[in-house]
Amino acid sequence: MKGTPNMRCSEKAAAVTSFVGTDWSSRPLFASGSTLSLSEDQFKSLPDWERRRSEMRPQIDSLKQLAAAVAQAGRDAAAKGDVAQARKHFAALRECGAALDTSDSLAMVRLVGQGMKKRAETEMSKLTP
């Protein structure tokens, strides 16, 4: 998943657009070989789960950075008076968060999802009706 700090502006915009256009109800959310696709029990049953946890950090960080970029794009749209576009961004953030925050997700992934949902709700509450 894209979202590195060195991402060019055009790449970030494309990633945000893709994020907002994603159907977060479809599965799988992550590639089948990704550690992020495992449940907590599946993850802990791996022989090298402690090493894999540290390898997950960059993926989790990229996911957080992308979520922050989506939230910023929503705030930017709201500042320009495009409340409908802002709502789309915040709704996508909330939907992604809900998709990540399920009982079959890794605990770290669930926490990211919970953070996304909270951020989306906070930002939505700032929008005028």
Give pLDDT tens digits for 74-112.
999 999 999 999 999 999 999 999 999 999 999 999 999
Q: How far is residue 70's CA from residue 57's CA, in Å, rounded to a whole number?
A: 20
The predicted model scores a pTM of 0.88
Instruction: Identify the pLDDT of residue 35.
Output: 86
Say if residues 91 and 27 touch (Cβ distance below 8 Å): no
Burial of 124 (0-12, 13-18, 19+ CB in 10 A): middle
d(CA 75, CA 71): 6
